[in-house]
Amino acid sequence: MDFTDTPEDAEFRAEVRGWLTANAEEKKPGAIYKAKYGEVALIPLSQEWQTKKFKAGFSGITTPLEYGGRGGTQIQQAIYDQEEVNFLVPRHIGSGIPLVIPTLLVYAKEEDKKKFIPEILCSDKLWCQLFSEPSAGSDLGGIRTRSERDGDDWVINGQKIWTSNAQHADLAILVTRSDPDAEKHKGLTYFYVDMKSPGIEVRPIKQISGMANFNEVFLTDVRIPDSQRLGEEGEGWRVAITTLMNERVSSGARPAPDFEDIFGLARDLEIEDGPAIANAAVREKLAHWYIQARGVDLTRMRTLTAMSRGQTPGPENSISKLVSAFKRQEIALFGMDLMDMGGGLMSRETTPMRAVFQEAALEAPSGRIAAGTDEILRNIIGERVLGLPREVRVDKDKPFRDLPTGV
């Protein structure tokens, strides 16, 4: 792929840069946005920024014009993302843009696309993702939340867990077990649901970071009209794969701290034998993370090339997510080590880079679980990218209800 901007792309980049310069503060070395992910204060700031982007035509760049998007290309979206990281802007909240819109575009009815997609793009409505369960996280095919047909409705009973921002969400995408007599990946059905529906209870989970952006969600006799089904009955796994592949695209992005942040810290920090960046061991670490960051960037560009040709994101996204999540944790811990005793401070006012390394060290382990654990991603890479023999499966060709559960 040629990474040089075409004249049209260069013109678009100039348009994006000009708009960002006029509407956001340019990021200085070590600067961090004023509200962090998980803080309630971030939600209205994120919604306000998303509305600005929508009005300017930079929200949903690849979304078709008829649904409120720009109707642009994946390359234009990549250009916008490349430019926006250079400015202090709030992180997007919810699953709407990265996960829900791609799924709706493929499986939703036309009236639902016209209703929901513009609301998501301008952040009028926040969405969450009801997938993981206490006994089915890495193996999503093992979910037990039941959906039973009752006339024109479905009755849902079960529990979901680790749902980000469920306490703030207006709607959710939901995978359920509709046929326990089918094989585990063939008995699933996919819906969207109003989070204010009777029978839905949300319980925030307090995390070690002090935040509570993950939740347990209990569904008790929740009624969902069949009109809110996405895809055919029993084809929920196929729909979920569309969502999951796009999740791994977004999870492979580069939240702070990344190479630029640890490089800036090493450049500015004095250790016992002089500037940290002059230390050979530190420079070796920096070189390692730079290579990883460039590898992730190039892998994502390969994905963008495939998506620009109308292809579904493939297993290569597992590489980006696996490397990025582990790299972030390594960088966070190394940054704290460089600060010596200061590495144990959590005050945003007194700690370098407003404690971004300390906060990331507490949050990063969850990033190695979300959108597929390290172990699951390595299996995917081994089997679907490298072509290694598949892992032995003892649950194939058996009804779900006959599988051992362990509980």
Would you please indicate which residues are annotated as catalytic (active-site) residues? 247
Count the neighbouring beta carbons within 10 Å of the beta carbon of residue 295: 14
Cα separation values, 295 from 317, 319, 368, Å = 12, 10, 18
The answer to whether the CB of 71 falls within 8 A of the CB of 63 is yes
Which residues is 294 bridged to in the sheet? none
Q: What phi and psi, each to the nearest 5 degrees, are found at residue 217? A: -130, 125
Asked if the peptide bond before residue 275 counts as cis, ω within 30 degrees of 0, the response is no
The answer to whether the CB of 149 falls within 8 A of the CB of 105 is no
Helix 317-338 / helix 259-268 crossing angle, nearest 10 deg: 20
Closest to 364 (Cα-Cα) out of 331, 317, 337: 331
| Tokens at 146, concatenated | 């039941």
Cα separation values, 39 from 153, 162, 222, 296, 323, Å = 37, 17, 29, 28, 27
Question: Side chain identity at 402, as an amino acid letter?
Answer: D
